[in-house]
Structure 1
Amino acid sequence: MATTLKDIAHAAGVSLTTVSRVLNYDQSLSVGAATRKRIFAVAEELNYTKIRRPQAEPQTKLHKIAIVQWYSEAREQDDLYYMAIRLGIEQRSQYHQFEVTRIFQNNINQLTGEIDGVIAIGKFSADQVSELQTLTDNLVFVDDDQFTAGFDSVLTDFAQAVQQVIDFFWTQELHDIGLIYGTEITTDGQRQINDPREQAFKQAMTAHQAYRAEFCFASDFTNQGGYQAMKQAITTLGDQLPHAFFVANDPMATGALKALQEAQISVPERVSIFSFNDTALAKYVYPELSSVHVATNLMGATAVDLLQKRAQQAQVPQRVELGTELVFRASTK
């Protein structure tokens, strides 16, 4: 098995980021000469070889790209949002006749040979970003804002979407609105990700002078997570249970629906539910979920186009933020 940066970092007793920057001759890195010497000595001892092409070689056409999905294959089946993004990437890549390699759960050690570009889906720590950068300079992130770190990023406009949901509930005279949102951590456990919908919700409700922290419940982005969060809301709030809930994704919303049904709380007569992502799951539950439609296919296609442009000529990083639209179904009045 080929030596990785993690192997060198472990043997040299330094961070993965430090190894990456030293081996890339980053003169701005504040590290002692002894540490630099030790890292190069360990790299030589372990026969480390970079697998990305030399910087001086011109590249005008992508041939082989890798999709690095932060979810496992099993988890991707449970959260169709990330699967839809991946399919969008693959469809656009097929149009350009790119050879595509899929890597799940950020396991880049599975990559063999040389690649021309990487599209990373999900959330990544600084060390994971540094490791991806050793593969190629052509790197695009989807659903993770790495723009300030110098990388192209394709994102969703969460703030506007949440504001539209709150505005809709307000027109329905629903002013006591609860939130079920998610918490995540990168696969290496190094970065905790805050749900941008939680902050957008707080801002929108505060503007109406209606934000109540006790109406907000955090869990993981799974069906069981949504179920447990709504069970907690029902138990702790009782008759004060909000008449509307915004839920951060479709799997959580289906779990929340189950908890309400078990408690014999009618939807939407007593509680209205508005979900997020609008995957196929939203249409296969009862009642069908109103949901914020996210342009997942376009997110994937945009990432491929950005990668192609970056390979053709050097350019400044781009941050592309796509809009959303509300899809109304039976879970709201």
Structure 2
Amino acid sequence: MATLKDIAKKAGVSTSTVSRVLNYDPTLSVGEETKKRIFEAAEALEYRSHKKVMTRKKGTIAIVNWVSESEELNDLYYMSIRISAEKKAQELGYDFIRLYDQDELIDHDNLAGILAIGKYSQHQVKQFRDKELPLCFVDFKPQADVDCVLVNFKDAIKGNIEYLIKQGHKRIGFIGGEESFSDGTGNWIDPREKTMKEYLKRKRLYSSDYFQVGEFRVEDGRKNMLKILDQLDKNERPTAFVAANDAIAIGCLKALYEKNIKVPEDMSLIGFNDISTAKYITPSLTTVKVYTEEMGSSGIQLLHERIQDGRDVTKTVITSTKLIVREST
């Protein structure tokens, strides 16, 4: 495991700065570029050593992110997928361009393929397909015949609930997130929230009072946890929560600290994604490991098959997850 010292050395900052950034310390005043270096260093150090990079170039792949650079810092999930995709592209002998706006594709000709990371509206999917290039979506399955890489969210959420029930919890809450397509045409429905409701209802443990949804950010996690804590008496509150991602979970930890609620003695908490910061916060976060390295790598591999082998059959890769138990449960 990479240490704070390792990250600090790679990012060119002090270990104390790394610690405060990874803990989302709101009192720390550093620029977004410094934060970006630290988060990218932490993510990069998580990955295994890759094979030797091919020297003969095979073309250029556009790696398109549905979030902006600043939004990427709020949810390292997408940064992690992007970094792994870039590494795999280099390993296979491709150049790549990094885009944070789909419209920027207009300025680039002679591309070998497109990797689209994130959620896109039907109109945006059509724009990608109109380029008539090998195309793969990561973390999203459009209503179209196209390659994609997905996560088995349903089994992960069910596993979380079963784990908490075995720990003796009967009042289980959920702090979720919602996201809008970047063209403003609608919202993406998170399967984690849907599965949480359905499975808790099946277990006769569901309560709408235990659910809150905001954005996938630390501050939203904090606000929504405080909202539930303030609305319910101590004896009516959930004794455990599942958060839709680690950023939300970190915000929940901050709210619980503010309310002098001990974790995990008084409240257990499970995050989602296992971003590089999850192990460094206090208490370290129990979370669902999503294999973002495999997601980005698989997306590039699917493109490679289209570009080099001329594969015509559409493929969907579904990656598994694993519950990583740490100090918050």
For normalisation by structure 1, the TM-score amounts to: 0.79
C-alpha contact 1:81 1:277 (8 A) present in aligned 2:
yes
Query: Residues 256-288 of structure 1: CA distance to partner in whole angstroms, max 9, x if unpaired?
Result: 111111011111111100000000121121111
Counterpart in the other structure of 1:276: 272
C-alpha contact 1:247 1:253 (8 A) present in aligned 2:
yes
Matches within 5 A, 1:67-78: 67-78=63-74
Counterpart in the other structure of 1:199: 194
Unpaired segments ≥5 residues, structure 2: 1-56
Query: Residues 52-92 of structure 1: CA distance to partner in whole angstroms, max 9, x if unpaired?
Result: xxxxxxxxx95111000011111112211101101111111
RMSD after superposition = 1.3
User: Of 159, 162, 177, which aligns to 2:157?
Assistant: 162
Greater shift, 291-300 or 276-285, is seen at 276-285
C-alpha contact 1:178 1:245 (8 A) present in aligned 2:
yes
Cα offset, 1:309, TM superposition: 1.2
Counterpart in the other structure of 1:66: 62
C-alpha contact 1:163 1:200 (8 A) present in aligned 2:
yes
**Whole-angstrom distance in 2 between the partners of 1:90 and 1:111:** 20
Cα offset, 1:313, TM superposition: 1.6
Percent identity for Structure 1 against Structure 2: 36
Matches within 5 A, 1:125-274: 125-146=121-142, 148-239=143-234, 240-274=236-270
**Whole-angstrom distance in 1 between the partners of 2:103 and 2:256:** 38
Aligned with 1:187: secondary structure? coil
Greater shift, 155-164 or 233-242, is seen at 233-242
Query: Residues 162-212 of structure 1: CA distance to partner in whole angstroms, max 9, x if unpaired?
Result: 011101001111111000011100111112111110011112212211111
C-alpha contact 2:273 2:288 (8 A) present in aligned 1:
yes
Counterpart in the other structure of 1:85: 81
Distance change (3 Å), C-alpha of 1:110 and 1:264: farther
Query: Residues 208-266 of structure 1: CA distance to partner in whole angstroms, max 9, x if unpaired?
Result: 11111111110100001101110111111132110000000011111111111101111
* One-letter amino acid matched to 2:320: G
**Whole-angstrom distance in 1 between the partners of 2:144 and 2:106:** 25
Aligned with 1:310: secondary structure? helix
Counterpart in the other structure of 2:14: none
C-alpha contact 1:70 1:105 (8 A) present in aligned 2:
yes
Counterpart in the other structure of 1:331: 328
**Whole-angstrom distance in 2 between the partners of 1:173 and 1:317:** 44
**Higher alpha-carbon Rg:** 1
C-alpha contact 1:247 1:276 (8 A) present in aligned 2:
yes
C-alpha contact 2:58 2:93 (8 A) present in aligned 1:
no
User: Of 305, 309, 319, which aligns to 1:322?
Assistant: 319
C-alpha contact 2:121 2:185 (8 A) present in aligned 1:
yes
Counterpart in the other structure of 1:120: 116
- The total of aligned residue pairs comes to 271
C-alpha contact 1:222 1:252 (8 A) present in aligned 2:
yes
**Whole-angstrom distance in 2 between the partners of 1:290 and 1:204:** 20
Aligned with 1:235: secondary structure? helix
Aligned with 1:140: secondary structure? strand
Counterpart in the other structure of 2:299: 303
Unpaired segments ≥5 residues, structure 1: 1-60
